[in-house]
Homo-oligomer: A and B are copies of this chain.
């Protein structure tokens, strides 16, 4: 089964467009976990067990593991999802992009070492840097288009040949880069107008949408502008808003409640 097929199945089965971002900061974990051998993994595991029936994917952010010397816990987390909830795809948020021979090593990191279903990619260096990922036909390549952060306008909104740079990325993603029909795009919830524009350019490509929750994106506008013709097409990520919803020992139930709340809000606009 390809990544896109897996995503399509889970959207329907769980009736959810919610992706939980697994970005655990060791300094923010509940006190009850701090003495554990693998506190980050235990934190993720409890949240996964509490939410796997109401999400469409998990998105571990590699920086939190690689910055905290917790590569092992990233591996344990993805293995745990694959073993216990194989129907839920894992998007490894790595934002890689490098020359071909190097990119092959990064694809190996995401798809072989960590066995993720998809990985996020940075398009600044162009086709040959994306190709080693795109060539994994069953895996997803999730390409940065219009990112959710404030300074994203500096390059992404520059206009060349009558189109902003992010539109060039959208067009390439819908054509040249989608030869295996395995491309997704990252478009921030903080820019709903751009979501609409890119949906027009790419009617069938799923969007990974960060920026609801802590970053302030408008859920109604995201749904109105981003859904595909089938009423799906969106993977709406929340990280801090879900994983830190409750800082007590009941954090997993808190994460479940926050996920349900977000999912209900999303589904009320579908």
Contact = CB atoms under 8 A, between A and B. Distances in A.
Interface string A145-161: 00111111111101111
A9 to B, nearest CB: 29
A109 interface: yes
A146 to B, nearest CB: 10
13 contacts: A63-B98, A66-B66, A67-B105, A67-B108, A67-B113, A68-B105, A95-B96, A95-B97, A95-B98, A99-B148, A124-B156, A127-B154, A154-B172
Contacts of A107: 67
Given A63-B105, A105-B63, A149 B129 contact: yes
Contacts of A98: 61, 63, 93, 95
A100 interface: yes
B152 A126 contact: yes
Contact of A67 (B64, B106, B122, B156): B106
A99 B148 CA distance: 8
A246 interface: no
A144 B100 CA distance: 16
A230 interface: no
A158 B147 contact: no
Given A66-B105, A98-B63, A168 B155 contact: yes
A1 interface: no
Give chain A's interface secondary structure class. helix
A100 B155 contact: no
A103 interface: yes
B95 A149 contact: no
A268 interface: no
A105 B66 CA distance: 8
A152 B125 contact: yes
Interface string A131-169: 000000000000010011111111110111100010011
